Chain A
Amino acid sequence: MALYSEKVMDHFRNPRNVGVIEDANGIGEVGNAKCGDIMKMYLKIEDDIIKDVKFETFGCGSAIASSSMATELIKGKPVADAMKLTNEAVAEALDGLPDYKMHCSVLAEEAIKNALDDYHKRCEEQQ
C-alpha cells in the first residue's frame, strides 16, 4: 500500500494555486522551519468573496497537498464559508491522511484562518 492516497499524490505532484498574489489583501503564515513545515497563504478578497488564493509551502508531501486542497476548498467562496474550513474537511477531501500527518491539515486550516484574520485586520484599519 502506498504511503498516501491517490488524491494526496495528485495534489502533491500537481499542486493547485501555487505562487504569490502581489496585491493580496490577506496574508497568513504558520509553522516554522525548525519543525519542517511552513505554509504561506495569499488571499485576494473582493465583495466578501475569495476571488483568488495562492500558497507557498516548505514541507513534506502531505503539507504541500493539504495546502493545495485547502486553497481549492475556499476559492470563489464567501469569506464566512472560508472561516468555517476545518482540518478534517481538508483531510477528508484528500481521501484521508496517515495519522501522524494530520497536523499538516491543521496547518492548512490555520494558514487560511491566519490570512483571513489579516484581511479583517486590514479592513478595520481602513475604516
Chain B
Amino acid sequence: MIYADNAATTKMSDKAIETMVSLMKENYGNPSSLYEFGQKSKEVLEEARAKVANAIGANPKEIYFTSGGSESDNQAINSAAKAGALAGKKHIISSAFEHHAVLHTLNKLKKEGFEITLLDVHENGLIDPKEVEDAIREDTCLVTIMFANNEIGTIEPIREIGEVCKKHGIPFHTDAVQAIGHIPVNVVDDNIDMLSASAHKFHGPKGVGFLYVRKGVRLFNLIEGGAQEKGKRAGTENVPGIAAMAVALEDAVANLDTYGKAVTAKRNRLIEGISEISHSALNGDAVKRLPGNVNFCFEGIEGESILLLLDDKGIAASSGSACTSGSLDPSHVLLAIGRVHDVAHGSLRLTIDERTTDEEVETIITSVKEVVEYLRGFSPVWRDLISGKREFIL
C-alpha cells in the first residue's frame, strides 16, 4: 500500500511504540499515587511535559495533556469564551475554513449569544492579518485561527496575526494540529496564547494531545473531577500515550529541516505531475503550504470514485467530496476558497511524508492520471464540457 493520507493520521514511530509498550508493561502506576511506583509514573509524565514544552518554545507549566486536538480546541475556545463573558465580551473572530472542532464549538457559542466573525480565506486559502485587525471590536474576547489547514495545507501568517492580537490585548488561540511536527512552531516568537496539538499527526499515538496555555491566560475546565493537570483537566493521565507523544514530537522537531526539504521536493513533483491533467487545479497557495500536502480539484468527476479506484491500485488518499462525509455538501474548506459545488465534489487530497519514496510519487501521478481519465470517459458532465454544452470552470 502507498499511504498518502498522513493528514488523517500517521504511522507511529518505532520509538513511540517502544516507549508506549514498555511503560504499559512495566510502569502502570498511577502518577497521582504517593508511593514510589506511582511517583515513577509522575516522573515520566513530567519528563514528557518538558519535552513537549521544549519542542514549541514553551514552559512545561504551560502544557496541559488532553485526549487530542478536538478536546484541546474545545477547551481553549470555551474557556476564552467564558472568560470573555465574565468581562462582558462576547465576540469571537475565526476563519471560514477552520476544523469542525473549532467551527462546531463556535456554532454552539453562537446559540448561547456570542457573535462570531468568520474571516474570508481568499482564493489561495490565506487569511490577511489586516482583516483580523479590522474585525477586532471592543467586545472581542478571542481570535482563533488555524496554523495550517487540514485539507489544503495552507500555512497562515500566524506570527503576524498573533502580533495584531498582542497589540490589542486579545487572547489568540491556534489549532496547530497539522503544523506541529511538520513546520517550525514557537509559541513565543509566533505570539501564541493558546495552541492545540494532536499526537497522531506526528507519528505519536491516537487519543493523546496537548493544549498550550500561556502563563497568565485564564483557563477553565472542560472535564471536572480530580486534580490532574493542575486541576484543569481531570482524569488519570494516559502516561504511556503521553510519553510516546513526547518522544515522537522530539524526533519530529529535531528533523524538521531535513523533513521539510525532502518532503517539499516530493510534494512539488506530485503537484507538477498531477497538474498535467487538463482542467484540474491545485487548491490552496502553491508555496505557503505544508511540506506534504497536495490537494486538487478535477472537473467532470466525483471524489469518492477517485478514492475507490486509487484504493484498488493500492493508494490510500482522501477527498473533500460530499459522498465521503455522508452529507450533501462538499468540503466547507473548498467552498471557502471559492470552489463551486460542481468542482468541489471532484477533489483529491494526497498527504505524503518522509517515508514516501520517489517511486511511489511517480506511481501516484500515473494512477491519478489513469483514474481521472477513466472516470471522465463515462461522465455525462465531462461529455457536456468537451462538447461545449457546459462551460469549463477550471
Contact = CB atoms under 8 A, between A and B. Distances in A.
B312 A57 contact: no
Interface stretch (A11-19, A72-80, A86-94, A113-121): A11-19
Interface in B301-329: 301-305, 308-309, 312, 321-323, 326, 328
B342 interface: yes
A58 B302 contact: yes
Contacts of A40: 380
A56 interface: yes
B341 A59 contact: no
B44 interface: no
A37 interface: yes
Nearest to A19: B378
B382 interface: yes
Contacts of A57: 378-380
A38 B328 contact: no
Interface centre among B312, B326, B345 (most CB of A within 10 A): B345
B381 interface: yes
> Interface of chain B, helix or strand or loop or mixed?
helix
A29 B380 CA distance: 9
A35 interface: yes
A60 interface: yes
Interface residues of A, number: 28
A60 B341 contact: no
> Interface of chain A, helix or strand or loop or mixed?
mixed
Interface centre among B328, B381, B382 (most CB of A within 10 A): B381
A20 B149 CA distance: 41
A58 B300 contact: yes
Contacts of A101: 323
A64 interface: yes
B302 A36 contact: yes
Interface in B151-193: none
Given A15-B378, A18-B378, A19-B378, A59 B302 contact: yes
A67 to B, nearest CB: 9
Contacts of A55: 378
Interface centre among A15, A35, A60, A63 (most CB of B within 10 A): A60
B341 A36 contact: yes
B312 A33 contact: no
Interface in A17-63: 18-20, 29, 33-40, 55-63
B261 interface: no
Given A58-B301, A61-B304, A36 B380 contact: no
Interface in B322-342: 322-323, 326, 328, 330, 340-342
9 contacts: A36-B322, A37-B302, A40-B380, A56-B379, A57-B380, A58-B301, A58-B379, A58-B382, A59-B323
Interface of A: 9, 12-13, 15, 18-20, 29, 33-40, 55-64, 100-101
Interface of B: 300-305, 308-309, 312, 321-323, 326, 328, 330, 340-342, 345, 378-383
